Chain A
Amino acid sequence: MSGPSDFQPTNPALKWIERRLPIMGLMHSSFVAYPTPRNLNYWWTFGAILSFMLGVQILTGVILAMHYTPHADMAFKSVELIVRDVNYGWLLRNIHASGASMFFFAVYIHMFRGLYYGSYKEPREVLWILGVIIYLLMMATGFMGYVLPWGQMSFWGATVITNLFSAVPYFGETIVTWLWGGYAVGNPTLNRFFSLHYLLPFVIAGVVVLHVWALHVAGQNNPAGVEPKSEKDTVPFTPYATIKDLFGVSCFLLFYAWFIFYMPNYLGDPENYIPANPAVTPAHIVPEWYYLPFYAILRSIPDKLAGVVAMFGAIIVLAFLPWLDSAKTRSSKYRPLAKQFFWVFVAVCIGLGYLGAQPPEGIYVIVGRILTVLYFAYFLILLPLLSRIEKPRPVPNSIADDVLAKTGGKPAPMVSTVIALMVAGGLLLGGADSARAAEGSTKPPAQKWSFSGPFGKFDRGAMQRGLKVYKEVCASCHGLSFVAFRNLAEAGGPGYSVAQAAAFASEYKVKDGPNDQGEMFERPGRPADYFPSPFPNEQAARAANGGAFPPDLSLITKARSYSRGFPMFLIDFFTQYQEQGPDYLVALLQGYEDKPPAGFNLPQGSYYNTYFPGHAIKMPKPLSDGQVTYDDGSPTTVAQYAKDVTTFLMWAAEPHMETRKQLGLQVFAFLILLTVLLYFTKKKVWANAH
């Protein structure tokens, strides 16, 4: 892409092809001989990281689509079946789901890098605008992908976001109905979102090709912001940039794998483990963290149409950046004022992200408005103004001069960059925690769980006892419909033999049929059957339980959580604390008070529970001492029951947790080795360049 290549293959067969389709020459001139500024720092590896992430997302996405069912009645279940039954399905899903966050994390760094070093300035305007288009496409793709699991947050996220278009004057309602393919978000919506979610990544890939093309025409920008003038200013892409990018990708993989293997639910919303329910809106609709700043802008404007315009405007304004900032000096390194304001702007964005996750009330609204004004002021007032009044420091004569000036000082502190990245990542990503789940209630005390941490394993005894508690107590109202009897004999489970699981199954009556006479019949359960639910449908369950619907317990430990608050949620990222759900459950089961505190008005048919959000729970105290007999001598107390049944339910929610953590250790050992090797290889390769 940088002019005709002089590359000539020697092999006659390749020569024959090359004369007819000069593809090897194109590859050679684009990715081998292509001159790249020799002073690029590690922020420049994010381009390669993003290409890598796009590949990962497309690959895992195509695979997940082989197992996913885009139907409103089956989507949620099919995702659970992927995670539970497909070989390595849990891994592929974690890669894809965390991958979306990693993709956005990388793109934000990439964008901020462009902003800081002025990579949008002449002659790279088109390159930058193509980037903005990619970013918009990514947002659309990410949003539609989040709808596919068809959990509560998927459904209500889809409702809220599509309703943005209802702000369009005159045609709003028509547009929204058209988007939905119905009178509300429903099956047609899910179907088309699936189709588009599959399509858009390939559109992104197409625009990425244009983006790279434009990059190779204009050449890469660099930290000094001066164009390469001579041979001395550049190094060939391969091996120099290639090895550096590989090392960057490898470091990034370490960060990514932390989520895949240890914190798969850190960035997700517990609500999304509850199947979509068009009749109940979750208390807080919180979009994925990467949309939060824009969500905050939307909410801080009191007018519907203006809010939507502002939100889209906040992205569109980026496309005009090359003309808003007309300063001749590219790199903020030599612009003392722009540099400071850049960091203020970064803080504004993170602040908006934080606010996007808070309930829209009180001080949050006011701060949100201030930050929204600052966001736009940065682009529309500050940058145009600075380009006129700021006096930049002199830039180096050439890239070679810049490199020489630096080699006198300390070499680039790679380790601290990586650590800074990790911390910044944790900060940014953790921001989403705040508004999640149970509020207005006492925080459950943290328990000690054998399954927490990187070496966590389930306590088999506790699981077997917990199964007994579930069977004798919980099962009279709560289903466990994603767990099959065969699971009881699987590795990482309660440790029963295949024969024991079959015997356990045969104690259940399972509905089957129709038989040759066309009638349904009951037969003893088989290992392949799932735990039968106590009620045939939600209506029957409500009728029998005073209007309340006892939730299915298959995913309950992942569907319940409580807010950890700042700074705990940051610390949790490093300590791998993921047990909000189990802690809450144990506390809830023991949290019943016979008498509500004075002044608390308990509604008819409810019971007072210290840990239940709002305290009035419809479930009567389910456990009492001595209720279930244990034959292994464990204490038959409510505390023990609660702990055992929660352990069992944690396994029920994630039967492959042990495999996940064990594989994680192996992957980390490998990645650390690879990263170290790549580091030294990179050093060796670059030794020739300096």
Chain B
Amino acid sequence: MTTASSADHPTRRDFLYVATGAVAAVGAAATVWPLVSQMNPDASTVAAGAPIEVDLTPIAEGQDIKVFWRGKPIYISHRTKKQIEEARKVPVSSLPDPQSDEQRVKPGHDQWLVVVGICTHLGCIPISHEGAYDGFFCPCHGSVYDTSGRIRQGPAPTNLVVPPYSFVSDTKIQIG
């Protein structure tokens, strides 16, 4: 490609080639963005993921319900005195993912445990009121959670996730 002409000739030509290549590269990169971005949740999915309100009155002590928020099951458990005590008795430092029960509930609403019902191992849905700790048991690979939704046994690395929520009133929470 190099010719035997004057010295500045190749430089000017090289500049043109580099400029053209650079502009084309920028265009290609910009074109890729919409192609990637389209895979993200669309606007209707995002809008449908808005916060939801849940009325707690129908849930009797010792019972729990499952609601869906953003396509995920959320367990809302109305815990008994015994369950709360059990959860608070264990020394936090002995847990695989140390977290106190108080950190996982809202102050003044100790009886309400709200967790995302998705096993932190590989995403199966644990069954409530099962397993050695009267909490949750995941049938997929045998992870056991306690009455605070903390991991106690099995392959799951972390506690069940507490979703963002707040008490609108004593008997109503807003998730999200």
Interface of A toward B, CB cutoff 8 Å: 59, 63, 66-67, 81, 84-89, 91-92, 484, 486, 490, 516, 526-528, 670-671, 673-674, 677-678, 680-681, 684, 688
Chain B interface residue count, CB cutoff 8 Å, equals: 26
User: What is the minimal beta-carbon distance from B62 to any residue of chain A, in angstroms?
Assistant: 19
Contact B37 A88 (CB under 8 A): yes
- Kindly list chain B residues whose C-beta atoms are within 8 Å of the C-beta of A84: 43
Looking across the interface, which residue of chain A has its beta carbon closest to that of B45? Answer: A85
Cβ-based interface call for B39 (8 A):
yes
Contact B50 A527 (CB under 8 A): yes
Query: Are A87 and B16 touching (Cβ within 8 A)?
Result: no
Q: Mark B26-51, 1 if CB is under 8 A from A, else 0.
A: 11001000110111101111011010
Q: How far, in whole Å, are A88 and B27 apart by their CA atoms in the complex?
A: 16
Contact of B38 among A88, A527, A528, A681 (CB under 8 A): A88
Residue of B1, B26, B27, B58 most packed against chain A (CB within 10 A): B27
Query: Would B44 and A681 count as touching, CB distance under 8 A?
Result: no
Cα distance A484–B45 when bound, in Å? 12
Set B20, B27, B42: member contacting A86, Cβ < 8 A: B42
Residue of A nearest to B19 (CB): A677
What are 20 residue pairs bridging A and B, where the CB atoms are less than 8 Å apart in the complex? Answer: A67-B38, A67-B42, A81-B44, A85-B44, A86-B38, A87-B37, A87-B40, A87-B43, A88-B37, A91-B34, A484-B47, A527-B50, A528-B47, A528-B48, A528-B50, A671-B27, A674-B27, A677-B20, A678-B20, A688-B1
In angstroms, Cα B50 to Cα A528, docked, is: 8
Which 8 A/B pairs are nearest by Cβ-Cβ distance?
Answer: A88-B34, A528-B47, A85-B43, A85-B42, A677-B20, A87-B37, A86-B42, A85-B44
Q: Answer whether A89 and B17 are a contact pair too, CB < 8 Å, given A84-B43, A674-B27.
A: no
Residues of B within 8 A of A (CB): 1, 3, 13, 16-17, 19-20, 23-24, 26-27, 30, 34-35, 37-40, 42-45, 47-48, 50, 58
B34 to chain A, nearest CB (A): 4
Interchain nearest-CB distance for A441 vs B (Å): 38
Q: In the complex, A677 Cα to B24 Cα: how many Å?
A: 10
In the assembled complex, the Cα of A670 lies from the Cα of B26 at a distance in Å of: 10
- Complex alpha-carbon distance, A89 and B42, angstroms: 9
Interchain CA distance A85-B13 in the complex, whole Å:
46
Q: Which of B1, B20, B27, B48 contacts A670 (CB 8 A)?
A: B27
Would A89 and B16 count as touching, CB distance under 8 A?
no
A674 B23 Cβ-Cβ under 8 A: yes
Q: If the complex has contacts A526-B50, A528-B47, are A59 and B23 also in contact, measured as CB distance less than 8 A?
A: no
- Whether B34 lies near A681 (C-beta < 8 A) is no
Given A526-B50, A527-B50, A528-B48, A684 and B13 touching (CB < 8 A)? yes
**Chain B residues with CB below 8 A from A67, complex form:** 38, 42
In Å, the complex CA distance between A84 and B58 comes to: 39
Bound CA span A66–B38, Å: 10
Closest chain B residue, CB of each to CB of A486: B47
